Structure 1
């Protein structure tokens, strides 16, 4: 089973998790860790380490969903992912969004965290859409 950490700048991770509970219900095995100005980078590093330890319990892997590539949450997560001592294995994906978070339920039963990372990206890509004007009237029929 794959466990998840949502790691972001500011309170975004906690807000995404709170919003997901409103729409989807509880997402088991999903943790949030937030970089705050008060705690700074070293505080985030400590919080991430504690969260990773908790997320690793009974996990085949931990998938970290970061807000953006190359920021502090990404860098700290990658340090963990590329450590030769990482047990269970850790994978890192940038670009976390609400649909991606809801897709964690679809990939959590995987055993390979790197396969789960690729699959969650595959599942999330179709949710990235631009609204376009429709020239025909839509009915209320489903």
Structure 2
């Protein structure tokens, strides 16, 4: 089973989880950790370590969904993902969004965190669309 962490700057992670509960209900095995100005980088590292330890219990892997590449949440998550001491395995993705969070339930049953990551990206990619004006003829049946 794959467990998930949403790691973001500011309250975005918590807001995404709160919104998901409104639309989908409780997402099992999904946790949030946020970088705040008050705690800073050191505080975030400590909080992330605690959340990762919690998320790792009973998991085959942990998938960290970050808000952006190269920010503090990404960098801290990658330190764990690329450490040979980290168990279970950790994978990291940038660009978390609401559809991605809701799709975590579709890949939570995987045992391989990297396979789950590829599938989650594949499921989410089609949700990234640009709105276009469509002009259609009005139906002729009244």
Q: How many residues align?
A: 139
Alignment of structure 1 residues 1-142 onto 2, 5 Å: 1-136=1-136
User: 1:137 Cα shift?
Assistant: 5.6
Q: 1:131 to 1:38 in 2, by over 3 A?
A: same
Provide TM-score, normalisation by structure 1. Answer: 0.96
Query: Residues of 1 paired with 2:19 and 2:62: CA distance?
Result: 21
User: 1:129 Cα shift?
Assistant: 0.6
Point out the structure with max Rg over C-alpha. Answer: 2
Deviations 1:82-108 (A, max 9, x none): 011110000000000000000000000
Query: Residues of 1 paired with 2:138 and 2:89: CA distance?
Result: 48
**How large is the Cα RMSD of the aligned pairs?**
1.1
User: 1:123 Cα shift?
Assistant: 0.4
Query: Residues of 1 paired with 2:116 and 2:33: CA distance?
Result: 20
Is there any run of 5+ residues in structure 2 with no aligned partner, and where? none
- The 3-state SS of whatever aligns with 1:43 is helix
Deviations 1:49-76 (A, max 9, x none): 0000000000000000000000000000
User: 1:138 Cα shift?
Assistant: 7.8
Runs of 4+, deviation exceeding 4 Å: none
